[in-house]
Amino acid sequence: MKTMPLRMPSTKTKKHSWQAIIGMLFALLVIAASLYAFLYLKHDHTLTDLRSRLQGMSALHPLGTDHLGRDVLTRLLLGGGQTLGYSLLALGAALIIGIPFGLIAGYKRGWIDKLFMRIADAFLAFPDTIVAIVLSGLLGAGIGNLVLAIVIVKWVSYARLVRSTVLSESQKDYIRVARTNGLSDARIMTKHLLPHIAGHVLVLASLDLGKIILLISSLSYIGLGAQPPTPEWGAMLNDSRPYFQSRPELMVFPGLAIVSVVLLANMLGDYLRDQFDVKKEVQS
């Protein structure tokens, strides 16, 4: 009797399985920590106590206090909710604007497509960070204006991705059959085209999340994002900068939080890219 050789699971499959597990566990940890901060931590993140400023780690303050005597752990956890929450808000708004625009431009073509390409060319002429800084400066400092600036910058990349996918899919036989059967354009776009772009958009969004987190943190660091006393990781880095030599951990904690979450988002994006078999060009 002929036996078939056993096939060992590939290293790549094992690697991405562990990536998914680690990513989900870390995401649950971040969510649980943020909820814990909102529901159970008794320290007021805005209450200043100059008598307790720059204290070290203790039972009362597990990560110490900052230059105004505020509990660092409380502000770090609440800052995670601010940074992640506004990043997801900006990402979601960019998707809501970019996906329909890309669908319509790619499917209808004509003057709508030409107008979109001119807009896209204008945005692509400059790096995202430069455009976001300029828009934030024009709109004024504040986390709301920063989110709006990021949405204005980011929606174009999703519209371009959707448009290119729709242009390719529109030439296939199943779209021609759908048109022959009398399906409306709206029905074709939502029922047939949208499922084909979902994987590409999901991969790009997961990879983009880390970039948006870095953008919000970096612009808050230079004063264009979250304003005092709002706890936000980038703003916490800026507040702790003058005390780096005496209390370096005040900058280390939010810095590690930013790096960890960005790495998590990139790991998730790599995993989803391989799951959906999306080419690496989706990152550009």
Query: Residue 35 falls within a domain, yes or no?
Result: no
Q: Is residue 260 within 8 Å of 172, Cβ to Cβ?
A: no
CATH code at position 100: 1.10.3720.10
Tokens describing residue 101: 């625009």
pLDDT, mean of residues 41-52 = 67
Other beta carbons less than 10 A from residue 67's beta carbon: 16
Report residue 40's pLDDT band, with 50, 70 and 90 as the boundaries. low
Q: Which residues contact 51 (CB under 8 A, 6 or more apart)?
A: 69
Number of domains within the chain: 1
Confidence of residue 2 (pLDDT cuts 50, 70, 90): very low
pTM of the complete model:
0.77
Is 28 a domain residue?
no
> In this structure, is residue 282 part of a structural domain?
no
Which pLDDT belongs to residue 205? 87
Residue 212 token pair: 């948006």
pLDDT at residue 59 in the model: 75
| Pick from 43, 80, 83: nearest CA to 65 | 43
pLDDT attached to residue 38? 57
Q: Is residue 222 part of a domain?
A: yes
Interval 212-238: pLDDT, tens: 998 898 888 888 887 877 788 888 888
pLDDT for 102 beyond 60: yes
Boundaries of domain holding 252: 77-277
- Is 33 inside any structural domain? no
